[in-house]
Amino acid sequence: RERTITGARVVVCSPGRNFVTLVIETQAGVVGIGDATLNGRELSVASYLTDHVIPNLIGRDASRIEDVWQFLYRGAYWRRGPVTMSAIAAVDTALWDIKAKMAGMPLYQLLGGKSRERVLVYGHANGKDLEHTVDEVLRYKEMGYEAIRAQSGVPGLATAYGIGKGDMYYEPAGEELPEVQEWDTRAYMTFVPKLFERLREKVGPETKLLHDAHHRMTPQEAARLGKSLEPYDLFWLEDLTPAENQEAFRLIRQHTTTPLAVGEVFNTIHDCRTLIEEQLIDYIRATVVHAGGITHLRRIADLAGLYQVRTGSHGATDLSPVCMGAALHFDSWVPNFGIQEYMMHTELTDEVFPHDYRFERGFMHCGETPGHGVTLDEKLAAKHPYKPRQLPVARLRDGTLWNW
């Protein structure tokens, strides 16, 4: 039958950074692709797909997306985890791509059609110090962004999370072995309110300001930081404390009205169930590639919708354009959409992954091409082989390993 899966392969390439892409082919010749990139652990997902998933796909009906999802999730016995769920996400995304192509429709149509005309995104301004960060935020405002995340170097600290290398393209995974960065919560917490005081003064009341604390606070510190930023009216404060302890957010929530966003490292609905059901957060940041694809992300979003929690999917450049394309179709449909993270991929990455989505003054638009609208130029990809790279680690000044 024409919908039968006849072949699948994994393409690992590095146009500037490593990406893992799953390509699925059907009898009819329709091809779908899905992103399986897991920053710093790329080859584990590639192996999971090649060694364990692909042999199970051959001969299956590509249109049975739900059954394939259940087979890969329940059928593996060992459930959840970033490697498994990124692999499942890649299969799921590729199958939605195939279904939409066969229907001759852009993916958002299959999900239920558009709920909005355009997708609000936030850009990434970062600077080596307060003044530099203020200038960068103003530059993003000039480019038309209505929502801007600000990260800054901290006085007295040699390194800080979220600071780029001086251009528009942010990439934290720099070295073959992890770079060791320095961290001091007190120095950071003294500085951040000063940064946002100045930023609010400079950008005025309209611009949405965001900030990522990257999992580094204790619940008590997190509560205090949220409270100290209240006067500057943030759109969100992200990843205050490591969220494998979801209950920690009860304390934070009682002490601050600053909106909270969590979830880029989550893989399943179980990782965020308490956060959502107890209304401990305002934005859920799970994304297509790391949370089991469109099929599972839709379940998370539907649960969130019951509790007035909105979506705010992770969209750093270590998620490939394939994830971004799928995410923009999802964002165009999902009723409880909040915002989408957007970092520009390099020109080279965009050449390897031709796509029909576009940025226009602070908003993204998914295209009308049947499928999710992103393809892979395999010839060009082959010119950029895998390069071993890992994310940095953080240590306190006394050498204790901390959350990066």
Residues with a known catalytic role? 161, 214
The verdict on 172 binding ligand GCO (CB under 6 A) reads yes
The verdict on 42 binding Mg ion (CB under 5 A) reads no
Cα distances (Å, whole numbers) of residue 211 to 50, 99, 300, 345: 38, 37, 23, 21
The verdict on 318 binding ligand GCO (CB under 6 A) reads yes
For ligand GCO, the closer of residues 287 and 375 by Cβ is: 287
Buried b (16+ CB within 10 A) or exposed e, 283-299: bbbbbbbbbbbbbbbbe
Q: How far is the CB of 227 from Mg ion (least distance, A)?
A: 21
The verdict on 303 binding ligand GCO (CB under 6 A) reads no
CA distance 348 to 27: 32
Q: Tell me the residue nearest to Mg ion as measured from the CB.
A: 212
Q: How many residues bind Mg ion (CB under 5 A)?
A: 2
Binding piece for ligand GCO, criterion CB under 6 A, among 188-196, 221-229, 312-320, 377-385: 312-320
For Mg ion, the closer of residues 264 and 282 by Cβ is: 264
The verdict on 146 binding ligand GCO (CB under 6 A) reads no
- Per partner kind, with CB cut-offs from 5 to 8 A, the member of ligand GCO, Mg ion, none near residue 318 is ligand GCO
Q: Where are the alpha helices (DSSP H) in 204-317?
A: 219-229, 248-255, 273-277, 293-306
The verdict on 136 binding ligand GCO (CB under 6 A) reads no
Q: Which residues contact 201 (CB under 8 A, 6 or more apart)?
A: none
Neighbours of 61 (CB within 10 A): 14
CB neighbour class for 110 (10 Å; exposed up to 12, middle 13-18, buried from 19): middle
CA distance 352 to 321: 9
CA distance 327 to 120: 12
Side chain identity at residue 205, one-letter code? P
For ligand GCO, the closer of residues 314 and 355 by Cβ is: 314
Binding piece for ligand GCO, criterion CB under 6 A, among 50-58, 138-146, 298-306, 313-321: 313-321
Q: How far is the CB of 79 from ligand GCO (least distance, A)?
A: 23
Integer-rounded Cα Rg, in Å, for the chain is: 21
CA distance 168 to 153: 16
Torsion (CA) 314, 318, 324, 330 in degrees, nearest 10: -30
The verdict on 214 binding ligand GCO (CB under 6 A) reads yes
Residues of span 35-74 touching ligand GCO by CB under 6 A: 39
Side chain identity at residue 70, one-letter code? Q
**Which strands, in side-by-side order, build the sheet including 401-402?**
180-183, 393-396, 401-402
Q: How many residues bind ligand GCO (CB under 6 A)?
A: 10
What pairing do the DSSP bridges indicate for beta strands 340-341 and 310-311? unpaired
Residues of span 249-278 touching Mg ion by CB under 5 A: 264
The verdict on 212 binding Mg ion (CB under 5 A) reads yes
- Per partner kind, with CB cut-offs from 5 to 8 A, the member of Mg ion, ligand GCO, none near residue 341 is ligand GCO
Binding piece for ligand GCO, criterion CB under 6 A, among 53-61, 194-202, 247-255, 311-319: 311-319
Helix (H) or strand (E) holding 310: strand 310-311
Select from 267, 283, 341, 384 the one that contacts ligand GCO (CB under 6 A).
341
- Per partner kind, with CB cut-offs from 5 to 8 A, the member of ligand GCO, Mg ion, none near residue 316 is ligand GCO
Give the footprint of Mg ion on this chain (CB under 5 A): 212, 264
- Could you list the residues that contact ligand GCO (CB under 6 A)? 39, 172, 212, 214, 264, 314, 316, 318, 341, 391
